[in-house]
Amino acid sequence: MFQLIGASSERKGGEMLISDKMVAAINKQIGNEFGAFLQYVAIAAYLGNESLPELAKHFNQQAMEERQHAMKFVNYVLDAGGLPEIPAIPAPKSRFSSAEEAVKLSLDWEITVTKQINDLVDLAGKENDHTSHTFLQWFVNEQLEEVSSMDMLLKMVKRAGTNLLFVEDYLARRGTRPAAAAEAT
């Protein structure tokens, strides 16, 4: 038999399918995802300013994906009977010495997000929260794609050196998604 977890004092009425601890952890992740959204917008703006329109387009698409991720978490918390609370989000880095630095920051960010998602999965296991565990599996798979795609993009940018027009051309031909991501869709 399925048992609901007692209602949070923060939510009016109803019972929650997930614990207050899980809600708090997911709320923190909502902030992380919106932080990634803002960081990718800042990177896109930098690349646009550097006259690299395909790279800018790529990071604008990445930004929208991160926003969608945040909204998936918001809607999950609502569906589970919790109250989404969006934490303060630090300002993104906006100035870079090169496109390589910007892409490297993105790869580092995706690796960090992967660890954050894994921590949520671990918490779901400790909480015996099968609902959250199942929900989080989509993010586990998504992070594999995100890290692989960003790693490939960074390798391409490094290989291109100062001639990023090769990367621009590649992204234009691929529809802005590096091959690892394009194959996954």
pLDDT, tens digit only, all 185 positions of the chain: 223 333 343 555 567 899 999 999 999 999 999 999 999 999 999 999 999 999 999 999 999 999 999 999 999 999 999 999 999 999 999 999 999 999 999 999 999 999 999 999 999 999 999 999 999 999 999 999 999 999 999 999 999 998 999 999 999 998 755 544 444 44
CB 44 within 8 A of CB 80: no
Q: What is the pTM of this model?
A: 0.86
CB 77 within 8 A of CB 23: yes
CA distance 179 to 156: 11
DSSP state of 16: B
Name all domains of the chain by residue range, CATH numbers in brackets: 20-184 (1.20.1260.10)
